[in-house]
Amino acid sequence: MFSPNNAPAGAGSIQAELYFSKKYKPLVRRPEELIDPVIRDLTRCGLIRETDRILTTHVLVASYANVIFDIERADALAIVHGYLDDIGIRYCGRYGEWGYQWTDEAFVSGENAAQRVLDAATVAKP
């Protein structure tokens, strides 16, 4: 409901994300089998009404879409960021900072990384 361009007039849209990983929580059924349980849970939580007419559904499995916050994260992050810092590569966004970021946060992260590059270029000029 944030934009009239997300759905036809008089309709709305909603997105649900479910977490799976081969290492911690394997997907044990076809992704399409999750549609009905998700609709039931969205209804139970009051995010959609039982009287709502669902026009379409779509399932997408994004195998590498989320940063995993496990007990190995901090050490791995220090290694990766330390190496990138050592060789002068600026990182940003969800995957570069290895953090869960919304789109606007990722955009600001990119702006900040670009500014750091510009600042370093200005300092390096003779």
Residue boundaries of the structural domains of the chain: 10-66, 73-124
State yes or no: pLDDT of 96 exceeds 80. Answer: yes
pLDDT digits (tens, 9 = 90+) for 57-88: 999 998 776 777 788 889 989 999 999 999 98
- Reply yes or no on whether the pLDDT at 123 is more than 70: yes
> For every residue of 67-115, which 3-state class applies, written as one string?
CCCCCCHHHHHHHHHHHHHHCCCCCCHHHHCCCCCCHHHHHHHHHHHHH
Higher pLDDT, 96 or 82: 82
Per-residue pLDDT at 63:
78
pLDDT surpassing 90 at residue 46 = yes
Please give the distance of CA 28 from its chain centroid, rounded to a whole number: 22
State the pLDDT at residue 86. 94
HSE-CB of 111 using CA atoms within 13 angstroms: 6
Tell me what percent of the residues of the chain surpass a pLDDT of 70.
95
pLDDT band at 122 (very low <50, low <70, confident <90, very high): confident
